[in-house]
């Protein structure tokens, strides 16, 4: 799974993609609008944090300017009814810090400014994302959060999301595992909890 790329910009498309030359291989990476607009000219080296999204019919790379932004994207993907296109639209409109603020303040108007999000979807997003604020990149905006512990739990949460578990199931499973430990240990514990619930 690709998590980070460094390469030269070959081209930008109006579809929101950038073509990166990484060691002679061209990677097509979908990126948020602000990142696309701020990319340097052709031939300039850039670095991107990447989320690899695997579907039955395609493998799509999504690129971000920071790990914080990538984790916000993954938190959005874990929310009910949010796919990659909508998650990218949210980050193109709000950005990570504004997204965290909107969720914490229950600012539905800001979320409704995203194309494709109505009031009902915005309210559901606030509920879903509030339970995911222990992800390190979102909690880094919240005073008093523990980045190291949250990072491990965030990785476990992302792994469980990829396995198809819903946000409520994941939250219950994480409540039943120790506060500290490696990703592998907590993931095994969470899967044991889920096996007992299902």
Collapse the DSSP code of 12 into the 3-class scheme (helix H, G, I; strand E, B; otherwise coil) and give the result. strand
Q: Give the homologous superfamily in CATH for domain 66-145.
A: 5' to 3' exonuclease, C-terminal subdomain (1.10.150.20)
pTM score, two decimals? 0.64
Superfamily (CATH H level) for 4-64: Nucleic acid-binding proteins (2.40.50.140)
Q: What is the pLDDT of residue 151?
A: 63
Could you tell me the residue ranges of all domains in the chain? 4-64, 66-145, 146-198
Residue 20 has pLDDT above 50, yes or no: yes
Q: Which of 76, 19, 16 is nearest to 7 (CA)?
A: 19
Section 130-147 average pLDDT: 46
89: burial class by Cβ within 10 Å (0-12, 13-18, 19+)?
buried
* High-pLDDT (> 90) share of the chain, %: 23
Query: Contact at 8 Å (CB) between 88 and 35?
Result: no
Q: What is the 3-state secondary structure (H, E, C) of 23-86?
A: CCEEEEEECCHHHHHHCCCCCCEEEEEEEEEECCCCEEEEEECCHHHHHHHHHHHCCCCCCHHH
């Amino acid at each position: 799974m690709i998590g980070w790329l460094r390469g030269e910009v070959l081209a930008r498309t109006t579809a929101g993609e950038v073509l990166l030359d990484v060691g002679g291989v061209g990677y097509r990476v979908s990126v948020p609008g602000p990142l696309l607009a701020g990319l340097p000219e052709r031939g300039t080296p850039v670095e991107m944090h990447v989320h690899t999204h695997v579907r039955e019919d395609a493998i799509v790379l999504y690129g971000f300017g920071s790990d914080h932004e990538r984790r916000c994207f993954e938190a959005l993907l874990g929310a009910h009814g949010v796919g990659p296109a909508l998650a990218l639209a949210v980050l193109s409109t709000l950005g990570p810090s504004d997204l965290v603020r909107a969720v914490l303040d229950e600012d539905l108007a800001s979320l409704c400014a995203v194309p494709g999000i109505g009031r009902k979807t915005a309210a559901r997003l606030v509920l879903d994302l509030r339970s995911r604020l222990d992800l390190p990149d979102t909690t880094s905006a919240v005073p008093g959060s523990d980045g190291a512990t949250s990072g491990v739990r965030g990785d476990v949460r992302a792994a469980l999301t990829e396995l198809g578990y819903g946000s409520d199931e994941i939250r219950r499973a994480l409540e039943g595992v120790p506060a500290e430990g490696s990703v592998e240990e907590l993931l095994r514990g969470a899967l044991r909890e889920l096996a007992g619930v299902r």
